[in-house]
């Protein structure tokens, strides 16, 4: 018996030690660690970032997903900035992207079809790993800001993601082929191949100017069918001229050439007839919940079918100044959030009952593990809006711990009174005192922030 007791205590000590180490690895002790490009703040803030693209026309930074056993599904958050009249050149990635966009033209190739879509603020669009696409900032005098979730589950193992540029960028995927191979494959002369490979060396985000035409200026001036043909010419390879490169479970290099771009000679399909999924505008969606203190929306695969393949959900919350999204927990997903406007406080309760409070403002990225209780509180001076992604495309169905729709009102009153150590009358008065649900008035708890940052779209989001 004594021996079994010692073994039990030893195992308990190991479990405790592993728990402490896991909490340290996720920043629970309040220390700051140096990330690759930025600082990783303590707690549930995501501050370790990498600058993955820097070009004359913009940049892209990726906030790295926290590490450790508590992470249900790693998800990086990308911030793309494009100057006015710029193009993010045609490419494909080894990772799935789910983008939240302000305003742009998106060209995308879905399986064997090419489509070009005009997108507006609040549009959500999913780009599967291996799908060729480009982005054009059509705004005049206005930068484009794109937020995206990056699913690294299908990646080649790089820290963030690996782009494969079709043309231009740091290096086109075509430049590695032997010139004679390209001459035969494209059916053009060797000097023309050299001209094609040397014309765009300014990086993956380039300015489109009418006064100094480039290959991409010419490309964007084409009609939809002609754009398809142009991309097909860039990528067309004869059977057997290249070694097949498997970079995702869905597509290979040969698939990109033959299936996606329809190089077998089939009828070109253009924007009007494309079967590519439409974008979904989350701002146009009816609020799932709304009262005098704010509103919330959640998007799952029943609303936008591509989410079924991505395994990611989307949500958007707007709290009026001084209001609170009531304490709750997510039973099915980890939550990642990005502050779009205003500022506030996020309170997260650890399993041991201690809490972490974090002040957040525009551009901050936070994450909440599955099952952890938390709430968001807007500052007293301005509305607080944040968008985010969840690690499940099914309905999240958050469980609220307080309010008129809370778990407390569903549980047995006698059991609750015994658990809290009060009489039933007191317990009943406590749980029925709050008549509001989901979003609550709470000026007394709201942080008195001053000097609110600008709304999403300002440079502050990327600092």
* pLDDT mean by block of 10 residues, the chain; 463 residues: 50 42 40 40 77 90 81 86 88 89 68 69 88 81 88 71 79 80 83 74 76 53 60 46 33 34 33 59 94 95 89 95 94 93 94 91 93 94 94 89 90 91 92 92 68 50 48
Helix (H) or strand (E) holding 214: none
Helix crossing, 413-420 with 424-432: angle to 10°? 100
**pLDDT value of residue 21:** 40
**Where do runs of H (alpha helix) occur along 86-214?**
179-186, 190-198
Q: What are residue 99's phi and psi, to 5 degrees?
A: -105, 145
**pLDDT value of residue 5:** 52
Helix (H) or strand (E) holding 245: none
- Pair 109, 132: CB distance under 8 Å: yes
**pLDDT value of residue 115:** 67
- Pair 129, 104: CB distance under 8 Å: no
- Pair 51, 114: CB distance under 8 Å: no
Look up residue 422 and give its two tokens: 């009060």
* C-alpha atoms less than 13 angstroms from C-alpha of 212 in its C-beta half-sphere: 6
**pLDDT value of residue 346:** 95
Q: Could you tell me which of 331, 319, 316 has the C-alpha nearest to residue 369?
A: 331
**pLDDT value of residue 14:** 42
Residue 172 DSSP one-character state: B
**Total-model pTM:** 0.74
Q: Report the distance separating Cα 166 and Cα 385, nearest Å.
A: 37
**pLDDT value of residue 242:** 35
- Pair 207, 85: CB distance under 8 Å: yes
- Can you name the residues that pair with 259 across neighbouring β-strands? none
Q: Report the distance separating Cα 46 and Cα 339, nearest Å.
A: 12
């Amino acid at each position: 018996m004594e021996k079994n007791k010692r073994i039990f205590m030893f195992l308990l000590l190991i479990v405790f030690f592993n728990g402490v180490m896991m909490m340290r690895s996720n920043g629970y002790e309040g220390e700051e660690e140096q990330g690759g490009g930025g600082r990783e703040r303590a707690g549930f803030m995501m501050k370790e970032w990498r600058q993955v693209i820097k070009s004359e026309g913009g940049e892209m930074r990726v906030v790295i997903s926290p590490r450790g056993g508590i992470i249900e599904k790693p998800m990086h958050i990308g911030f793309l900035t494009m100057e006015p009249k710029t193009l993010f050149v045609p490419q494909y990635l080894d990772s799935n992207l789910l983008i939240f966009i302000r305003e742009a033209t998106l060209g995308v190739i879905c399986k064997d079809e090419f489509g070009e879509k005009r997108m507006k603020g609040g549009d959500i669009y999913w780009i599967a790993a291996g799908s060729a696409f480009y982005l054009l900032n059509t705004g005049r005098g206005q930068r484009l800001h794109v937020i995206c979730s990056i699913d690294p589950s299908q990646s080649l193992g790089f820290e963030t993601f690996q782009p494969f540029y079709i043309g231009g960028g740091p290096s086109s995927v075509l430049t590695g082929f032997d010139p004679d191979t390209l001459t035969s494959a494209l059916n053009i002369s060797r000097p023309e191949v050299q001209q094609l490979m040397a014309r765009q060396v300014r990086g993956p985000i380039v300015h489109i100017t009418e006064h100094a035409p480039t290959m991409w200026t010419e490309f964007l001036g084409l009609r939809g069918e002609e754009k398809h043909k142009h991309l097909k010419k860039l990528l067309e390879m004869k059977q057997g001229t290249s070694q097949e490169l498997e970079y995702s479970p869905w597509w290979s290099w040969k698939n990109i050439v033959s299936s996606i771009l329809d190089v077998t000679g089939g009828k070109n399909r253009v924007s009007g007839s494309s079967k590519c999924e439409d974008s979904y505008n989350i701002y146009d969606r009816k609020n799932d919940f709304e009262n005098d203190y704010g509103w919330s929306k959640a998007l799952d695969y029943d609303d936008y079918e591509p989410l079924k393949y991505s395994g990611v959900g989307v949500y958007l919350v707007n709290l009026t100044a001084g209001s609170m999204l009531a304490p709750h927990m997510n039973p099915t997903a980890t939550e990642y959030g990005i502050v779009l406007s205003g500022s506030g406080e996020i309170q997260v309760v650890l399993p041991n009952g201690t809490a972490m409070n974090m002040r957040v403002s525009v551009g901050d990225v936070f994450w909440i593990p599955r099952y952890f209780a938390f709430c968001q509180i807007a500052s007293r001076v301005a509305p607080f809006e944040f968008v985010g992604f969840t690690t499940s495309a099914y309905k999240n169905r958050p469980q609220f711990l307080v309010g008129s729709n809370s778990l407390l009102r569903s549980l047995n009153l006698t059991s609750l009174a015994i658990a809290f150590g009060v009489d039933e009358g007191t317990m009943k008065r406590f749980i029925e005192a709050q008549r509001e649900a989901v979003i609550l008035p709470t000026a007394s708890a709201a942080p008195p922030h001053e000097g609110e940052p600008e709304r999403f779209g300002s440079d502050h989001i990327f600092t």
